[in-house]
A and B are shown apart, each in its own frame.
Chain A
Amino acid sequence: MLIVHCPVCGAEGDETDFHAAGEAHIRRPATLDPEHISDEQQRDYLFMRRNPKGLHFERWRCDRGCGKWFHAARDTATMEFKAFYLATELPPRELMEQATGEWVTFFKDKLKAAKTK
């Protein structure tokens, strides 16, 4: 049983008070450029998942609280939550750096961008 913390309203509760909705930071190609989307892009958006063993970034909803969506960083091996952050945010910098597997490529330019700022 996971104990989840909502970064929006601060409510803490059982996983059953929240709604888990899979991998975070997936961009919907049609929102960006509806005219030029390859079948492969559409497939990646709909189905391809990073699914790491270890640090993962996912979407949750404060179902029985403020009803807001948010992000969580969780270790899928130990089930420990590492951070909760807003649905419009990227993970804390140190977590982006700790990320492994497919996430590394995803965060690379994000980290660069953060540096140049």
Chain B
Amino acid sequence: MTSKPYRLGESFGHAIDRSRRVNFSFDGKQMPGYAGDTLASAVMANGQRVFGRSFKYHRPRGVVGLGSEEMNALVGVGEGSRHEPNLRATQVELHDGLVAVSQNRWPSLSFDIGSINNTLSRFFPGGFYYKTFMWPQKFWMSVYEPFIRRAAGLGKAPDGCDPDTYEHIHAHCDVLVVGGGVAGLAAAEAAAASGARVIICDENPQFGGWADIADGTIDGVAQSEWAQAKVQRLSEAENVHVLSRTTCVGHWQHNSLILFERVADHDPALLARGTPRHRLWKVRARQVILATGSIERPIAFANNDRPGIMLAGAARAFLTRYGVAPGSSGLVFTNNDDAYQTALALKQAGIQVRVVDSRSHVDSQLPTTARKAGIEIMAGSAIAAVESSFGGLDVTGVKVAPYRKGSGRVITETRIECDFIAMSGGFNPALHIWCHTGGKIRFDEALQSFRPDTHHDRIAAVGAANGTLALGGALNEAYAVGEAAGKAALPKSKAARPKVPKALQEVQQALESLWFSPATGKYNEGNKHFIDFQNDVTAADLELAQREGYESVEHTKRYTTFGMATDQGKTSNLNGLGVLAEATGKTIPQIGITTFRPPYTPFSFGSVAGPMTRQLFLPIRRTPIYEWHKSQAAQFEPIGQWRRAYTYPKPAEEKQASIAREILAVRNSVGLLDASTLGKIEIKGPDAAALLDRVYSNMFSTLKIGRCRYGLMMNELGFLIDDGVTVRLGEDHFLMHTTSGGADRVSAWLEEWLQTEWTDYKVFVTPVTEQWAQFAIAGPKARDVLRRLDPDFELSNEAFPHLSMKEGHLGRYPVRVFRISFSGELSYEVAVPANLGRGLWDEILTAGQDFGITVYGTEALHVLRAEKGYIVIGDETDGTVTPVDVGLDGLVSKKKSDFIGKRSLEQSFLKRTDRKQLVGLLTEDPSEVLPDGAYAVQEVKDKPPMEMIGQVTSSYFSPTLQRSIAMALIQSGRARMGETLSFPLDGKVVKAKIVDQVFYDKEGAQLNG
């Protein structure tokens, strides 16, 4: 590798600040660079060309492109938890202390064991792995695949949690302009002139696109000068938002787009300060203008992947932007005029250069200027071979041969010494975003590429993105489209239209397509014409895929993986189509093109998650008593988004012990439960009762005012979805309780039926769950606690019987008290406005002290109700269980002609008598607790499969009964009362007897006590 200085004199490199040196390291080697450098330019300025190794053959690779289209120079940047793999060196902005490493090589970049694959490459044609690695069978997972996995995969993941933050922002605008080149700036100016709100974004740090490396003037000044003035003006405008370092990653339906802003990657100081690293912009635009420019095409010639072979535009940019010479003597290989600007720039920099042009006649202005400048032009020729130093690390020369379109092999050739090649096969409009939601495209003969055609959304393309490469045309187009977009957004705007500036630029001669450059010898024997550089897909691979019948371009793509690398085919797709067209004698449109998928360039998962990580990942709902629970070291369990206290272990108390303690307290004295999460819905109107009769399986129109009734809810399939106690507050006024999880669902459901089915019903439904804190005071001493709380509150059985409700005050606290019980004990549920909840809670605890009041959690609650044989929606039911299945036939009205789910109960399968029915279970060994979900079998066999006849739905050790109890859904269970069932578990069989599911206080004496 040559060691001569690659950094040119002051007159080159307008983007770098030579007064600000920065030091960075590449593969552990300390290197100097300048502020304004990219990692690519800085490394090249240090005389290093090889940046990485290719995916499959591990061939050494250098920089080919200029920005996000780069497919070779992928590096890992940053260390430890801040490491980021697979970054394009051409996009990494240099900063002091930047640490970069090359990828996919071992042990080192210049010597890579993996490159053995290259030597053996002929054994690895496209799709080879489908044809082998099948024998012996077990070797696939044990030998072959592990090897493949280790070999693949480019860079390494960071280790540890990401220390940086990310955020989202929503933005609406009248016009979004994607791309800040000359055309984009022009369109933005025109749109903004109407007063429209305009957002313009560009993925690079600076605006201007190719302005600084393109010839021609605008209103008499250089393109770049014009661009800088424009962006300055736009950045000051009130109605414009200018976003640099921001990539539009995709276009979604109805003109919603995602922009990916790299806020702080370029400056560690910002990150250290806590600036969000990336910001995801969710933009809704009335009009979208794509000024995304075009991407230069490489040329498929033998060994076109050697380090030192780059795109002509890129070579030019490294020269003028960063003052970096791609080499000391070069060759420009082109099929168009544009590349001649590179030749001229190189010449101007004192670098020796020749032009090889596949076109037989080149006499337009740029070539003529080049000739005048003394540049040798070899027209009608093409590169037939590339010579390189050992290991292919460097270009040493080429063989040039006369070019005849379609000719297979090369006869005569001339050798030319050179250490770099700048190639240009033409330009492809960047269509990606246009196509994301299905915009139509058409093939353009002059471009030999696809360009935008029609689109169903309000979106337009201008300039190179639209195939309009010439400066004058691009400006006219951009101003016209920009103005139209502004008008469409603000039809009334009277603003004056900006005048279209005057463009002066050399007229270019048409390009001639060059999809394949014949090589020395038979092209696919030995030397490789790379189409997809990163994935090592050659012209021969594509042609082979065709021959093997993978004819659809999608098949070819998937079989050879061309276009599937991290550049998503930006530089390879069209070249591939060209090769396929020539191989099959079809036209490119006949071959078709693969679908463009978001994102335009890869963007971080962190930015997609934004701030929704850690404690903001998903909301946690807290009851008014949450802090108290925490102060008591409660164990919590999530119920939907709620956090409910599961149990309250005392210091050094086992979970099971604390649960038992809580249960016995309720049975023997009194317990207190935070039931605030219970759903509460106020329902009022002349048809309120009728609505309840429709949504509950049992009757509610007969409920007396002030009384409560337990109700069952089915869906239309006849399956249980919710239950709860509903209270009649007035003739036309009810308060419905739902399960904690069901609150939102049920109230929305009631609204749905009222608005879409029973639209003649006059009923208002208002969910009030969170208005109330609600506590259950349960146990023989419950009444005493309430009396202590407020002696005047009438609590006698006569005045306040089971299943009734009273509204009033407990002390100063306004309350609703319901005498309902889910524990089977005498129990009152007290509802109080949420902000007074904690106050009353404390009062109850004080009042209960003498009675040994014990706070109990959800697990104790579940055991208590199981002892009573009460069902829990979600435990005894799983979405396939009917009220009849759980033995609540009594709550399925025979009188009502219609209620939700009624008809489905008549479907044959739901009427079967051998359905699984809810029963109680008592294990033969009372200390044996059946596991939840254990299955009973018809007959125990020594090994599976065994016929299953039902499963345990709830199973606990009952501290009250000092034995295990369980409920289960068993096929025709009720007919099997007294039968003993077998539950084969791991290594043992548990036997249990079918019994009635009410284990405790069958006659309900406690409850009515």
Interface of A with B (CB < 8 Å)?
1-3, 14, 21, 28-31, 34-35, 37, 39, 42, 45-46, 59, 61, 67-69, 78-80, 87-88
* CB within 8 Å of A: which B240-280 residues: 252-256
* Interface flag for B898 (CB, 8 Å): yes
B907 in contact (CB, < 8 A):
yes
Contact A1 B903 (CB under 8 A): no
* A to B CB contacts below 8 Å, 22 in the list: A1-B256, A3-B256, A14-B256, A21-B752, A28-B757, A31-B757, A34-B897, A34-B903, A35-B897, A37-B903, A39-B907, A42-B903, A42-B904, A45-B716, A46-B717, A67-B751, A68-B755, A69-B756, A78-B456, A79-B253, A80-B456, A87-B756
**A45 to B904 alpha-carbon distance, docked (Å):** 11
**Which residues of A lie under 8 Å from residue B142 when comparing CB positions?**
none
Complex CA distance for A59 and B537, rounded to whole angstroms: 49
Other than the known A3-B253, A42-B904, A87-B759, what 4 A-B pairs have Cβ atoms closer than 8 Å? A29-B903, A31-B758, A39-B908, A78-B438
Interface membership of B680, Cβ < 8 A: no
B902, CB-defined interface residue at 8 Å: yes
Flag whether B284 is at the interface (Cβ < 8 A): yes
Whether A1 pairs with B253 at a CB distance below 8 angstroms is yes
Task: Please name all residues of chain A whose beta carbon is closer than 8 Å to the beta carbon of B716 when the two chains form the complex.
Answer: 28, 45-46
- Beta-carbon contact of B254 and A1 below 8 Å: yes
Chain A residues near B904: list those with CB within 8 A: 42, 46
Shortest beta-carbon distance, A97 to chain B, in Å? Answer: 21
Q: Mark each residue of chain B from 889 to 931: 1 if its CB lies under 8 Å from any CB of chain A, else 0.
A: 0000000011000111011100000000000000000000000
Beyond A37-B903, A67-B751, A88-B759, whether A31 also contacts B254 by CB under 8 A is: no
Q: Which residues of B are found within 8 Å of A87, using beta-carbon distances?
A: 755-756, 759
Interface residues of B in 751-786 (CB under 8 A from A): 751-752, 755-759
CB-CB nearest in chain B for A68: B755
- Of B903, B906, B908, most buried by chain A (CB within 10 Å of CB) is B903
Q: Are B755 and A69 in contact (CB under 8 A)?
A: yes
Chain A residue nearest to B907 in the complex (CB): A39
Give the distance to chain A from B942, nearest Cβ to Cβ, in Å.
Answer: 42
B284 contacts across to A, CB distance below 8 A: 3, 14
Alpha-carbon gap, A95 to B764, bound state (A): 33
Residues A30 and B898 in contact in the complex (CB < 8 Å), given A39-B907, A39-B908: yes
Nearest opposing residue in chain A for B715, CB measure: A46
Chain A residues near B897 (CB, 8 Å)? 34-35
Contacts of B758 in A (CB 8 A): 31
In the assembly, what is the distance between CA of A88 and CA of B907, in Å?
30
Q: Determine the distance from Cα of A116 to Cα of B768 in the docked complex, in whole angstroms.
A: 48
Most buried by A among B252, B284, B756, B902: B756
- State the CA gap A115–B49 with chains docked (Å): 77
Instruction: Select from chain B the residue with minimum beta-carbon distance to A88.
Output: B759
Residues of A near B903 (CB, < 8 A) are 29-30, 34, 37, 42
Chain B 719-762 interface mask (CB, 8 Å, partner A; 1/0): 00000000000000000000000000000100110011111000
Give every chain A residue within 8 A of B752 (Cβ-Cβ): 21, 61, 69
For residue A68, which residues in chain B have a CB less than 8 angstroms away from its CB? 755
Of all A-B residue pairs in the complex, the 4 with the closest CB atoms, nearest first, are A34-B898, A1-B256, A3-B254, A69-B755
- Residue on B nearest A39 in the bound complex, by CB: B907
Residues on A with C-beta less than 8 A from B252 are 1
Question: In the complex, what distance in Å separates the CA atom of A68 from the CA atom of B748?
Answer: 10
Q: Which residues of B contact A35 (CB under 8 A)?
A: 897
Nearest CB on B from A69, distance (A) = 4
A67 to B906, CA, bound (A): 34
Q: When chains A and B are docked, how far (Å) is the Cα of A60 from the Cα of B804?
A: 39
> Contacts A1-B252, A2-B253; is A30 near B902 (CB within 8 Å)?
yes
Are B907 and A31 neighbours in the complex by a CB distance under 8 Å? Answer: no
Q: Which partner residue on chain B sits nearest A46 by CB separation?
A: B716
Contact A59 B898, beta carbon cutoff 8 Å: no
- Min CB distance A35 to B, Å, is 7
* CB closest chain-B residue, reference A78: B456
Closest A residue by C-beta to B751: A67
Q: Which residues of A contact B759 (CB under 8 A)?
A: 87-88
Alpha-carbon separation in the docked complex, A41 to B284 (Å): 44
- Chain B residues with Cβ under 8 A from A3's Cβ? 253-256, 284
Residues of chain B contacted by A30 (CB below 8 angstroms): 898, 902-903
A61 to B897, CA, bound (A): 29
Please name the residue on chain B nearest to A34 by beta carbon: B898
Residues from chain A with Cβ under 8 Å of B254 in the complex: 1-3, 79
In the complex, the chain B residue whose C-beta lies closest to that of A80 is B456
| Alpha-carbon distance between A46 and B897 when the two chains are bound, in angstroms | 19
Known contacts A1-B253, A2-B253, A3-B284, A34 near B902 by CB under 8 Å = yes
Min CB gap B875→A, angstroms = 26
C-alpha gap A29/B907 in the complex (Å)? 14
CA distance A1 to B280 in the complex (A): 15
How far apart are the CA atoms of A46 and B906 in the complex, in Å? 14
How many angstroms from the CA of A14 to the CA of B807 in the assembled complex? 43
Q: How far is the CB of B437 from chain A (nearest CB, A)?
A: 8
Cα(A59)–Cα(B748), bound, Å: 14
Nearest A residue to B900 via CB reads: A30
Please give the distance in Å from A42's CB to the nearest CB on chain B. Answer: 6
Nearest-neighbour CB distance to chain B for A64, whole angstroms, equals: 12
| Smallest beta-carbon distance B897→chain A, Å | 5
Taken together as a complex, chains A and B put the C-alpha atoms of A14 and B755 apart, in Å, by 22
Taking each of A1, A3, A29, A35, which has the highest tally of chain B beta carbons within 10 Å of its own beta carbon? A1
Q: Closest residue to A3 on the B side, CB-wise? A: B254
Q: Nearest residue in A to B254 (C-beta to C-beta)? A: A3
With a cutoff of 8 Å between Cβ atoms, the chain B residues found around residue A37 in the complex are: 903
Docked CA distance A100–B437 (Å): 23
How distant is the Cα of A67 from the Cα of B754 in the complex, in angstroms?
12
List chain B residues, Cβ under 8 A from A69.
751-752, 755-756
A117→B96 CA distance, assembly (Å) = 80
B744 CB to nearest A CB, Å: 11
Which residues of chain A are within 8 angstroms of B748 by Cβ–Cβ distance? 61
Contact between chains at A42 and B902 (CB < 8 Å): no
> Which of B438, B752, B755, B906 has the most chain A CB within a 10 Å cutoff?
B755
The complex places the Cα of A68 from the Cα of B253 at a distance, in Å, of 24
